[in-house]
Amino acid sequence: MGDAMKNVKVAARSVFEVDSSRLAIGTFSRPLLDDEARRFRRTWESEALPGFEDFQVDAKRVSFVTRPESVTGAWREIDRVLAQTTESVRKAS
């Protein structure tokens, strides 16, 4: 259980140019627990930053398509939501 409850963060980030947008892919420091993935998706959908064309999250990675100027802020927001999600799951356990 110790490894499963470590704070999760985006450990590796890649950004690719796609037409006039950017595709960003981040790999988590550990796989998300099912409850973390559900809470992350729910929180992100309710608080998503404007300008996202697409967003996906699974146990091992997150990806999104957005405007070039929004990429840095998106990474910060994803880190914030991950920290909040991990803490919520830890408190519920």
What digits encode the pLDDT tens for the residues 17-56?
A: 999 999 999 999 999 999 888 888 888 888 766 778 888 9
Phi and psi, residue 7, nearest 5° = -60, 135
The confidence score (pLDDT) of residue 18 equals: 93
User: Any idea where the domains of the chain sit in the sequence?
Assistant: 3-92
How many Cα atoms are found within 13 Å in the side-chain-facing hemisphere of 5?
9
| Cα gap 71→43, rounded to integer Å | 19
- Contact status, residue 27 vs residue 35, Cβ threshold 8 Å: no
Predicted structure pTM score = 0.82
Q: Indicate the residue type of 3.
A: D
Q: Mean pLDDT of all residues in the chain?
A: 85
Name, in order, each residue with C-beta under 8 angstroms of 44's C-beta and a sequence gap of 6 or more. Answer: 55, 57, 78, 81
3-92 CATH fold: Gyrase A; domain 2 (3.30.1360)
